[in-house]
């Protein structure tokens, strides 16, 4: 199918004018929708499909998705499809997700226009389930019009479940969608997952809320009440902490008492950032520097993991000991100025940039960034 490839920062996704009949065959509804005497039954969500389970849980718990309101909303949208003539029935895009990596082949001299392969499975609808449900009922009554409608769609492919969950929460966190009092943030999403994910999520939660955390209220939980400036998305911080926890998981399980182990890891990260705050000085939290931006914070979590594997104990005096170890960072302030930062740490995307910053910070304190426990 013909698609336009769109690049925004490190993200790559696609815009497609999808023939309505084809699209409705390729999407799966994970909530029940009602028409006049008809319904769309939800597809079963496999146990391993965490993102579909996440969205289904929100929709079952959120008043806006209950049966009566869902029926009224679908009826209203369907009525609009019936009455719209010169106006486009679906002027806004539907957001779709597939964890399959889709093949894109540019056409001729056009680098960003080409043929996009459809996924083998069905798309998950990040935004637009009501519109597509209404379209399904509309075509059941007027099948002759199905061939005249193309639906504008944005397709995200080959991404992680965490990416799709984050996108869903961002899109649905306005007052006109999921009510903010019912907003389920990403921490709750991962807390339903495997033990190592719950473990990492607990650490991130403490980093957000505990009074002794240098990151308190600086983590963007997509609905938190604090008005403080946020430094990093919860999902980004979670991914880094989980990366570390996954590497150490065998030792963590062997020690038992996961709550105490989670507290121990929290205390390590807390002490590390306390030490880092001391050595960065005025650059810490300053808009003219990139020290407390997500790309550097993620790299620092990796340094923390490296340092903990070689110098975790004793816990007493750790902040002072690590502040002395990290002291060379105070001489790197110039490198971490916001002006020219992306040229000094040139990279194809954030993944590569985080790795480069990690190597730079580790080398400055004589730490092997390639070491694994």
pLDDT value for 78: 80
Instruction: Give the residue among 186, 191, 159, 187 at the shortest CA–CA distance from 170.
Output: 186
Is residue 228 classed as helix, strand or coil in its secondary structure?
Answer: coil
Using CA atoms, how far residue 151 sits from 15, 17, 189, in Å, is 10, 5, 30
pLDDT at 194 over 70: yes
**Mean of all residue pLDDT scores within the chain:** 82
What is the distance between the alpha carbons of residues 326 and 233, in angstroms, rounded to a whole number? Answer: 25
Residues of the chain with pLDDT > 90, as a percent, come to 46
Where are the extended beta strands (E) located within the chain? 2-8, 11-19, 27-28, 33-34, 39-40, 94-98, 104-106, 113-116, 123-127, 150-157, 219-220, 232-233
Each residue of 265-282: pLDDT tens digit? 999 999 999 999 999 999
Question: Hey, which of 27-31, 130-134, 180-184, 362-366 has the most confident mean pLDDT?
Answer: 362-366
Ranges of each domain in the chain: 2-184, 192-364
Please list, in sequence order, all residues whose beta carbon lies within 8 angstroms of the beta carbon of residue 272, skipping any fewer than 6 positions away: 300, 303, 304, 307, 308, 322
pLDDT value for 285: 95
Taking phi first (over 0 means left), then psi (-120 to 50 degrees means alpha), and beta for anything else, what does residue 95 get?
A: beta
> Hey, which residues does 3 pair with through a beta bridge?
114
């Amino acid at each position: 199918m013909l698609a336009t490839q769109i690049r925004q920062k490190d993200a790559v996704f696609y815009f497609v004018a999808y023939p309505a009949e084809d699209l409705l065959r390729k999407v799966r509804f994970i909530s029940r929708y009602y028409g006049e005497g008809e319904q769309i039954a939800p597809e079963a969500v496999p146990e391993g499909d965490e993102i579909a389970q996440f969205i289904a849980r929100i929709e079952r718990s959120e008043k806006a998705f209950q049966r009566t309101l869902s029926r009224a909303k679908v009826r209203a949208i369907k009525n609009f499809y019936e009455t719209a003539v010169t106006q486009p029935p679906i002027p806004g895009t539907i957001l779709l997700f597939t964890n399959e990596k889709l093949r894109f082949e540019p056409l001729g001299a056009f680098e960003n226009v080409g043929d996009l392969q459809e996924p083998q499975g069905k798309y998950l609808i990040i935004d637009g389930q009501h519109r597509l449900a209404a379209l399904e009922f509309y075509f059941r009554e007027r099948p002759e019009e199905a061939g005249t409608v193309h639906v504008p769609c944005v397709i995200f492919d080959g991404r992680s479940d965490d990416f799709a969950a984050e996108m869903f929460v961002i899109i649905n966190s306005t007052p006109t969608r999921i009510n903010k009092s019912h907003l389920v943030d990403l921490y709750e999403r991962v807390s339903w997952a495997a033990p190592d994910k719950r473990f990492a999520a607990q650490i991130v939660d403490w980093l957000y809320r505990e009074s002794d955390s240098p990151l308190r209220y600086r983590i963007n939980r997509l609905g938190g009440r604090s008005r403080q400036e946020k430094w990093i998305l919860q999902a980004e911080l979670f991914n880094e902490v989980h990366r570390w926890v996954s590497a150490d998981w065998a030792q963590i399980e062997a020690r038992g008492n996961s709550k105490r182990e989670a507290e121990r890891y929290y205390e390590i990260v807390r002490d590390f950032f306390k030490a880092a705050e001391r050595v960065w000085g005025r650059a810490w939290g300053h808009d003219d520097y990139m020290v407390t931006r997500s790309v550097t914070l993620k790299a620092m979590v990796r340094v923390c993991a490296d340092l903990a594997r070689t110098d975790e104990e004793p816990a007493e005096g750790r902040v002072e000991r690590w502040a002395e170890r990290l002291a060379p960072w105070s001489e790197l302030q110039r490198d971490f100025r916001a002006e020219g930062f992306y040229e000094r740490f040139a990279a194809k995307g954030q993944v590569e940039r985080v790795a480069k910053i990690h190597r730079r910070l580790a080398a400055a304190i004589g730490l092997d960034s390639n070491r694994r426990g």
